[in-house]
Amino acid sequence: MLIEQLINGLTLGSIYAIVALGFTLVFGVLGIINMAHGEIFMFGAFIGVMITSTLNAPLWVAFLGAIIITAIMGYLLERFALRPLRHKQGVSHLAPLISTIGVSILLENLSHHLFGAGNHPFRTSFAEISFQIGSITVYLVQIVIFVISIVLMLVLTFWLGKTRAGKALRATAENLETASLLGVDTKKTILMTVIIASAMGGIAGILVGMAFNSVTPQMGLSMGLKGLAIIILGGMGSVRGAMFGGLILGLAETFIVVYGDSGYRDAIAFLAIIIILLIRPQGLFGQKIST
């Protein structure tokens, strides 16, 4: 029982971590909270449902389709909601945040009209595969989700730390003007960051659809809010913080459902951020920030 809940918690936490990685990547480079990330994630999940149930296509096609579509959405987001604000004089730092809130509300209601308000089950035989270890049932999906999240984190850490593109990205994050003076194509770097973050959201969407067998237009908002809570918990812009913050939140939520009141599950994330802001405002893995 305990171990089964532990596995459930790790699965949920891994999904949270992937969502939070998308937030943290955009925040790390652009210093922007991308409020539309949760909705892009939700679109990824819907694309997955459409491809597997309506077109009866295999799962890898669903993954591919979701990644492509969410990447395009990331491009559009950067092109139309973020880029126009970047070099404008006298624009407050809140403008991109407000702009992405606009994108989020647009996408949420668009999906209401496109897919309907109801709950869509995610039908795939892959989600049913399970095996017994002693008295514990483990679903293959849970292992896949956990592995994908670990792999994504390792690839991202390697990519940011060791590759040329990753260095360009970190330089852009450090200082946009200096990086561009030193020959980094900052426009391309920023675009690429938003696209990669959105595609990761799309992957997370399909994984959630498989794990919980349910996709609704509202899931973007709740997942987006939790992703935000995680990056505050783990430290803004920290890849490791997003990973561990996600796992901590996933485990905490699973155990409160088992041992406490399930209704308050969605409130934990925010109680955690209020406490963390009081004790350690830079987050668990964040660098010290000045006010």
Partner 1 sequence: MLAELINPYYLQVGCFILINIILGISVYITLSTGQLSLANAGFMGIGAYTSALLTIHFELPIIIGIIIGALVAALCGVLIGIPTLRLQGVYLAIVTLGFGEVIRVIFVNWESVTNGSVGISGIPHIGREILKTLQGFGFQPISIGLQNNQFIFLSIFILLLLITIFVIWFFRRQHQSRVGRAFAAIKLDEKAAESMGINITYYKVLAFAQGALVAGFAGAMYAHILAYISPADFAYHRAVEILIFVVFGGSEVIWGPIFGAFFLTLMPEVLRFISEYRYMIYGLIIIIMMAVRPQGLIDVPLLKALSKKGRKRGQKHGTGNHKSM
Which among 66-74, 200-208, 243-251, 267-275 is the span making contact with partner 1, rule CB under 8 A? 267-275
Closer to partner 1 at the Cβ: 53 or 282?
A: 282
CB of 77 to partner 1, least distance (A): 10
DSSP symbols for 114-127: HH-SS-B----GGG
264 counts as binding partner 1 under rule CB under 8 A: yes
163, 187, 274, 280: which one binds partner 1 (CB under 8 A): 274
CB under 8 Å to 156, separation ≥6 — which residues? 21, 25, 239
Question: Using CB under 8 A, which residues numbered 31 to 50 contact partner 1?
Answer: 33
270 counts as binding partner 1 under rule CB under 8 A: yes
87 counts as binding partner 1 under rule CB under 8 A: no
209 counts as binding partner 1 under rule CB under 8 A: no
The whole-angstrom separation of Cα 208 and Cα 195 is 20
The whole-angstrom separation of Cα 44 and Cα 73 is 10
CB of 50 to partner 1, least distance (A): 20
CB of 26 to partner 1, least distance (A): 12
29, 228, 247, 248: which one binds partner 1 (CB under 8 A): 228
68, 110, 114, 182: which one binds partner 1 (CB under 8 A): 110
91 counts as binding partner 1 under rule CB under 8 A: yes
The whole-angstrom separation of Cα 33 and Cα 116 is 28
SS3 content of the chain, % helix, strand, coil (to 5): 75, 5, 20
The whole-angstrom separation of Cα 34 and Cα 104 is 9
The whole-angstrom separation of Cα 152 and Cα 45 is 18
User: C-alpha angle 279/280/285, rounded to 5°?
Assistant: 150
**Single-letter residue type at 139:** Y
Residue numbers at the binding site for partner 1 (CB under 8 A):
33, 80-81, 84-85, 88, 91-99, 101-110, 113, 221, 225, 228-229, 232, 261, 263-264, 266-267, 269-271, 273-274, 277-278, 281, 289, 291
